[in-house]
Amino acid sequence: MIELEGLPELVDPVMICAFEGWNDAGDAASSAVGHLDREWKGEVFASLDAEDYYDFQVNRPTVTLHGGVRKVTWPTTQLSAVRIADADGKGNPRDLVLVRGIEPSMRWRSFCNEILGFAHELGVELVVLLGALLGDTPHTRPVPVTGVTSDPELAVSMDLEETRYEGPTGIVGILQEACTHAGVPTASLWAAVPHYVSQPPNPKATLALLNRLDDLIGVRIPLGELPEDARAWQVGVDQLAAEDTEVAEYVQTLEEARDTAELPEASGEAIAREFERYLRRRDPGAGPYLRDLSGPQPLTEREEPRAPEEHDGDGEDGGGTDTAEGAGEPEEDGAGKDSGTDGDDGDTAAAEGPEHSDGSEGSDGADRSAGEDASEESDADAGDDDGKRPGRDDDGKRPGGDGDGEAGGKD
């Protein structure tokens, strides 16, 4: 049964859910939703009936005093709405539906159906579930956050991993599958919390979840004091670890394993993602950045080298792809040495022969080529069988005569 206090009319809503309990190591996920609720002053519009889903011997109610009056607070799940006045940097608003509660003790399918009922009625376009788990990760490194989905198309469009997990699951996993079967786009973000310091709160993991959520939904999230809290948390854990030699050695082992495993990531997609977030925070209205840098670029110029007259003469080697035709014709300014030093053009140096591998004969070769250019094409039969001299392309000109080398050696 739902207690409804005025269902709001929302604009392009995204539902963000987190539940205390098994899916909430260090209270990182529930704290993230709580942070959003505080920063944007969410208004509670519905709560699920505690009698239907909770065992009060497991999740006991609490008693508080307000002005001498005792008040009982029952464990439950509440839904609140927040409006972001300028979500895209262009003055367009967007709403979030925040679902925060405790993992239910019973009737999980009915629980999920109630959440889905709200999602359908509110016109929710995307459901994002937040979770945190204990892992072998050092507290001194950035918190790993994994984004997963059961929808293959959503995995591609939102740069998520398609889930392959098998084993026990919590309400986050059940709700994700329920949303997927109901046709509601759904993703979950999981932060890994160091298992040796699992006590809540963990502001560093909460901050990591919010940063990843920022990337996922494209809404700039105010972080408030979280960055400072995260730094203070890490300093405190550093001091505790330094007092125990075994813990310090264990942390060092985790650091080495983490650095070795993520060395390629540190120089690729992770840097691009962090720089993109930095640019977006400077200019909230700007679109995605650096997405094309995550994969190899098309090598169209390698397949069809440009004619020599199209080069601008910056001195780079242009003979990387025409090794057979360009052998033995060093550049007039000695730039032919580049084909021997450039890692991509190492075969060119071998084709030129030992007298050209170090560029020592470059000037003589340039004089000869200058004299040959002044002569008629009648002596071209001294080259290859088709009447062309070595080192000339289809129009009888030397590749790279002026060239900047874009067509050959570099992408």
Regarding beta strands 43-48 and 126-135, do their DSSP bridges make them parallel or antiparallel, or are they unpaired? unpaired
CA pair distance 391, 382, nearest whole angstrom: 12
Q: Which residues contact 44 (CB under 8 A, 6 or more apart)?
A: 5, 78, 79, 80
pLDDT digits (tens, 9 = 90+) for 346-393: 444 333 443 443 444 444 444 444 444 444 444 444 444 444 444 444
pLDDT tens digits along 250-294? 998 998 888 887 665 555 555 566 666 556 555 555 443 333 434
Check whether 29 has a pLDDT greater than 70.
yes
**Euclidean distance between CA atoms 293 and 6, whole angstroms:** 47
Tell me whether residue 87 is exposed, middle or buried, using C-beta atoms within 10 angstroms of its C-beta: 0 to 12, 13 to 18, 19 or more. buried
**Cα–Cα dist 44/33, whole Å:** 13
DSSP string, 236-266: HHHHHHHT-HHHHHHHHHHHHHHHHHTHHHH
Q: How many CB atoms lie within 10 A of CB 238?
A: 13
The structure tokens listed for 328 are 């033995």
Does the pLDDT at position 38 exceed 90?
yes
Q: Looking at residue 353, what is its pLDDT?
A: 40
Mean pLDDT score of the chain: 74
Give residue-wise pLDDT tens across range 293-349.
344 444 344 444 444 444 444 444 444 444 444 444 444 444 444 444 444 444 443
pLDDT band at 102 (very low <50, low <70, confident <90, very high): very high
Nearest to 188 by CA among 211, 162, 167, 168: 162
95 vs 84: CA distance, rounded Å? 6
What is the reported pLDDT for 163?
86
- C-alpha distances (whole Å) from 328 to each of 3, 384, 390, 406 are 85, 13, 8, 20
pLDDT digits (tens, 9 = 90+) for 113-171: 999 999 999 999 999 999 999 999 999 999 999 999 988 888 998 889 988 888 999 99
